[in-house]
A and B are shown apart, each in its own frame.
Chain A
Amino acid sequence: MNDAKVLLDYGSGGRASHRLIGELLLSHFRSPELARLNDAAVLDLRGPVAVSTDSFTVDPIFFPGGDIGSLAVHGTVNDVAMLGARPLYLTCALILEEGLPMADLERIVASLGQAADAAGVAVVTGDTKVMPRGQADKIFINTTGIGQIMVETPPSGDRARPGDAILVSGSMGDHGLTILSQREGLAFDAPVESDSACLSHLILKLLEALPDIHVLRDPTRGGLATTLNEIAGQSRAGCLIEESSLPVKQAVKAGCSFLGLDPLYLANEGKFICILPEAQADAALSILRADPLGKDAARIGTVTAENPGKVVMRTPLGGHRMLSMLEGEQLPRIC
């Protein structure tokens, strides 16, 4: 492909579109179903399936630890896996801004294809649109994931029960702080990188050994605090969190302290919350810690009958405070 920039023609449906699909997309998304180039894909699925869709608009599109392409796979695949499902298929719609360098597009598509291969999902159908310059920001990606449910009773946000243990698979806030530190106008270098990763293999390993996991959730936008509040609300139970046991990297703590942010409200893209019967907590922790994606896993708290719908944090001093849901965006403070 000789053109250096994405042109409006590529979304025309004509020859230019076909060239883009044939030369670029099909070479990175190697699924026989996609290669048939029919109007829709035929999938072979039996039993209950999990479906999830997500649109990715991250800025910047390349960041330490990943890019919008791999993120578009991880984000959706992880959501499907949280229902106790094995992700199998992915759809992919690209909205491109006219003028996007072709080299950037190719890098993103290659990264998306690689992430899909690694996650064991096939990109089976897709769409490409090009928006006039200024009407979209470089590239937006929508992906829908479809997976086969592997357990009898899928984990669900309303199944947390008093006495259950609350675990997280690793450190909190890495992705959110990385993205913030890369934004234009925010001149600081943080030695952090995004945790963007595919969690489905680890989730399936966990569910195979412990099929009675009550809740699995990935704390993406809004972070751990917001996700725990959602679970507390859905389950009509309380969560008691031990602040001193929360895994947060020193660099993230320092960056947050500098910007006046709270790591518990920052997005994660390669971590999950696992809530399960107390008796199985140690077994789950050993499985998690044996995997590179779960090496920093920790038990952070307990589900309680008290304070239903609320998340309460016990501070290292032994005091208590609420951990409430995020209201709008976190904005850097003034002094």
Chain B
Amino acid sequence: MNFLDKFRDPELCRRLLDLIHKESKGVRFMEVCGTHTVSIFQSGIHTLLPDNVVHLTGPGCPVCVTHDREVAAYLELAARPGVTIATFGDLMKVPGPKGRNLKTAQADGADVRVVYSPFDSLELARKLPDRQVVFLGIGFETTAPAVAATLKAAREQKLANFKVLPFHKLVPPALRGLLSDPEMRIEGFILPGHVSAVIGLDPYKFLGDDCGLPAAITGFEPLDLLQALLFLVRQKNTGGHEVVNQYRRVVADAGNPKAMQVMYEVFEPADALWRGIGTIPGSGLAIREEYAEHDAFRALDLTLPEVPPLPGCRCGEVLKGKMRPDQCPLFKKACTPATPVGPCMVSTEGSCAAYFKYQLDA
């Protein structure tokens, strides 16, 4: 028995499932983390829940929420001579206007490198002094502090040819944005583990205080998820609206103040575009003035191009949990992992890709 297997213990999981079956009077919950999405499908939990526990998949994958205008912007940059794009792998296939993506840009001659950490892209800038190395800053609060640290290092080391295109998104403002939609009928949240390890519990308190909703930060193993679900079921039954941290082995209630400090030293909150949702106030991060020479927007004179909406794409409704992936008319027809129309199908952590990959009768 090892640490990984303990949180997958089938016997303990079954006991929790029994309790959920016994006690649930119905609850609609949303998870907002792609890793939770995948874990729920991979473990088969979604096939074992009672019918009255309704699982909605929210905008939890940073790739999925990257707006078409943001994709168009980095594709435009990739096509410029002298520019090298450094990116995390999952962005390679995200479709932009006319189905173009970084892979097609690469085939057209763009220099695109997949990196595993933003610091690798700094190394790339050192190796390629004659090129502008642009790191695509995509991700939630989990990724942003590492990118901020990279920007600090770039400034200290005077690597002027290193740039970041800041498309980071923040989770709590997005939850607020989602809940402002009167059509959303969410009765509880499963909150992301990794993001919370950085921001802690406080930024979610408004869910309980202002919106009257229960929520639980939890981990990614079946036991974590089932424990959080049982909590939501019980809160719903008693009309509770507690926001709790059930992932104490990783997440401190105060988060990681050092990471937050680095993040806000380099970035400042800004409005951001979310695919399918639109602009959410204060849900993004812009690069501060002191770091302007490393900001791809300012230093390379880039603006977000206007783009026509993707025809027929219902990713927005899927991301808001208003539509199940398999209810989208494009699902499995025009939109498959090989030919993704919208970003929910692109990333392995996207809700449509998870449905396509794991759902038996989808």
Contact = CB atoms under 8 A, between A and B. Distances in A.
B88 A316 contact: no
A172 B92 CA distance: 27
Interface of A: 185-187, 244, 250, 253-254, 257, 260, 307, 310, 312-322, 324, 327-328, 330-335
Contacts of A253: 4
B47 interface: yes
B143 interface: yes
23 contacts: A185-B116, A250-B2, A316-B13, A317-B10, A317-B44, A317-B222, A318-B44, A319-B46, A321-B47, A321-B358, A322-B357, A322-B358, A322-B360, A327-B337, A332-B114, A332-B116, A333-B349, A334-B62, A334-B143, A335-B62, A335-B139, A335-B142, A335-B194
B89 A331 contact: yes
B359 to A, nearest CB: 7
Given A316-B10, A317-B10, A335-B62, A185 B120 contact: yes
Contact of A334 (B44, B88, B338): B88
B142 A318 contact: no
B233 to A, nearest CB: 17
A237 to B, nearest CB: 16
Given A321-B359, A334-B143, A315 B93 contact: no
Main secondary structure of the interface of A (DSSP, over half): loop
Interface size class of B (residues with CB under 8 A): 35 or more
B8 A316 contact: yes
A252 to B, nearest CB: 12
B143 A257 contact: no
Nearest to B358: A321
Contacts of B114: 331-332
Contacts of B41: 321
A330 B89 CA distance: 9
B10 A335 contact: no
Given A185-B120, A250-B2, A321-B42, A335 B140 contact: yes
A176 to B, nearest CB: 15
Contacts of A314: 44
A218 B154 CA distance: 47
A324 B358 CA distance: 7
A330 B92 CA distance: 11
B150 interface: no
Contact of B44 (A185, A319, A328, A335): A319
A17 B340 CA distance: 49
Nearest to A329: B89
A257 B8 CA distance: 14
A315 B356 contact: no
Interface string B50-81: 00000000000011000000000000000000
Nearest to A314: B44
A20 to B, nearest CB: 34
Interface string B188-205: 000000100000000000
Interface string B113-151: 011100010000000000000000011101100000000
A257 B139 CA distance: 19
A244 B11 CA distance: 13
A334 B63 CA distance: 9
Contact of B10 (A185, A318, A330): A318
A319 B48 contact: yes
Interface string B11-55: 001100100000000000000001100000111111110000000
Given A317-B45, A327-B337, A328-B337, 15 more contacts: A260-B348, A310-B360, A317-B44, A318-B10, A319-B43, A319-B47, A319-B48, A324-B356, A324-B357, A331-B92, A332-B89, A334-B63, A334-B143, A335-B35, A335-B139
A26 to B, nearest CB: 42
Contact of A186 (B116, B138, B142, B338): B116
Contacts of B349: 333
A185 B35 CA distance: 24
A312 B358 CA distance: 9
A328 B42 contact: no
Nearest to B348: A333
B289 interface: no
Contacts of B357: 322, 324
Contact of A317 (B35, B48, B63, B89): B48
Given A319-B48, A321-B359, A333-B349, A257 B116 contact: no
Given A185-B116, A327-B337, A333-B348, A315 B88 contact: no
Contacts of B115: 185
A321 B44 contact: yes
B42 A254 contact: no
B90 interface: yes
Contacts of B93: 328
